[in-house]
């Protein structure tokens, strides 16, 4: 930094500031770029059926289909349907391993990160999130035990 002493202080400060700011901008760009490439898009089941490419992860959002939840050893199988489809949209079967949040239930709205592999959808381990339908109220009637 010897040559800096030759510059006048104001110019030196400007140079320093420019260097610092451009470093910050470069880092911010890297951050922004990676966030777009690493992000998994949030899709509904019918979008997923249309667009999914093997090997990429997607955030699947929808409701758990009634009667679709089965456990086989460590794998939890369930199907997800469109939130507002009323049964008209597509349903996607998911094979999930990992922690199941307490509120997980048939009929609940969930988010799970999935990858398409050989035509089936594999849930990423521990990626299952349950959305509470409203502020911590008990589920509407007729979701359980009635089927």
Partner 1 sequence: MAGLGYACLLLALAVCVYGIGASLYGVRRGRPEYSESGRRAVYALAGILTVAFLVIEIAFLRNEFTFNTVADTSSRTTPAFYRAAAVWSSQEGSLLLWAWIMSLWSSLALFLTRRRLREEAAYATAIMLGFGGFFVALMVFYANPFATTSPAPPEGVGLDPLLRFPTMMIHPPMLYAGYTLCTIPFAFGMGALLARRVDADWIRVIRRFAFAAWLFLGTGILLGALWSYSELGWGGYWGWDAVENAALLPWLTGTAFLHSLMIQEKRGMLKVWNVSLALGTGTLAIMGTFLVRSGILDSIHAFGGHTLGVPFVCLIAAMIGGSIYLVVSRRELLRSEHRLDSLLSRESIFLANNIVLVGLCFVILWGTYFPLISEALTGQEASVGPPWFDRYTVPLALILVLLSGIGPVIAWRRATLANARRNFMIPLAAALLTLVALLSAGVSQKPLAIAMFCCAAFVLGSIGQEFFRGARARRAMAGEPAPLALLALVRRNRRRYGGYIVHIGIAVLFVGVAASSSFQHTSELSLSPGQSTRVGAYTVRYVRPTATITPKYDAAHTGSTLSLGAVLDVTEARPPGRHVATLDPSEGFYSSGEAAQGSVGSLIGGQPVSHVGMDVGVTRNIWSAIQPDIETPALKRIVTVGDRTLPPEEGIIAIAYLARAYLQHPPRAQFNLIVSPLVMWIWIGGLIAFGGGLIALWPAPSMVRRRVSVLARGHRAQAAPAGASAALEAAREAKYQEIRDTELDYRMGKLSREDYEVVDATLRAEAITILDRLQPPARVEEPTGSPEERELTPTGA
Question: Given the rule CB under 8 A, which residues bind partner 1?
Answer: 27-28, 31-32, 34-36, 38-42, 59, 61, 71, 73-74, 97-103, 105, 111, 113, 126-127, 129-132, 134-139, 141-142, 144-146
In the bound state with partner 1, the residue whose beta carbon lies nearer, of 119 and 145, is 145
In the bound state with partner 1, the residue whose beta carbon lies nearer, of 24 and 120, is 24
In the bound state with partner 1, the residue whose beta carbon lies nearer, of 53 and 119, is 53
Provide the minimum distance between the beta carbon of 110 and partner 1 in the complex, in angstroms, as a whole number: 10
Provide the minimum distance between the beta carbon of 23 and partner 1 in the complex, in angstroms, as a whole number: 10
Provide the minimum distance between the beta carbon of 86 and partner 1 in the complex, in angstroms, as a whole number: 21
Residue 29 and residue 121: Cα distance in Å, rounded?
A: 33
Closest CA to 40 of 50, 31, 30, 53: 53
100 DSSP 8-state letter: -
**H/E element holding 112?**
strand 109-117
CB 87 within 8 A of CB 117: no
Provide the minimum distance between the beta carbon of 128 and partner 1 in the complex, in angstroms, as a whole number: 9
Within 13 Å, how many C-alpha atoms sit on residue 144's CB side? Answer: 9
Provide the minimum distance between the beta carbon of 138 and partner 1 in the complex, in angstroms, as a whole number: 5
In the bound state with partner 1, the residue whose beta carbon lies nearer, of 67 and 120, is 67
In the bound state with partner 1, the residue whose beta carbon lies nearer, of 54 and 141, is 141
Closest CA to 62 of 48, 49, 45: 45
CB 57 within 8 A of CB 41: no
């Amino acid at each position: 930094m010897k040559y800096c002493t030759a510059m006048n202080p104001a110019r030196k400060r400007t140079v320093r500031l420019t260097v610092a700011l451009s470093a910050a901008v470069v880092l911010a760009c890297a951050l922004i770029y990676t966030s777009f490439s690493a992000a998994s898009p949030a899709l509904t089941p019918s979008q997923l059926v249309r667009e999914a490419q093997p090997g990429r992860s997607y955030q699947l959002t929808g409701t758990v289909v009634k009667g679709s939840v089965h456990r086989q050893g460590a794998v939890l199988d369930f199907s997800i349907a469109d939130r507002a489809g009323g049964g008209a949209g597509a349903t996607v079967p998911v094979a999930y391993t990992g922690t199941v949040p307490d509120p997980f239930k048939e009929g609940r709205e969930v988010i799970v990160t999935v990858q398409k592999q050989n035509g089936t959808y594999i849930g990423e381990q521990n990626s299952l999130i349950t959305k509470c339908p409203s502020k911590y109220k008990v589920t509407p009637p007729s979701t359980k035990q009635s089927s």
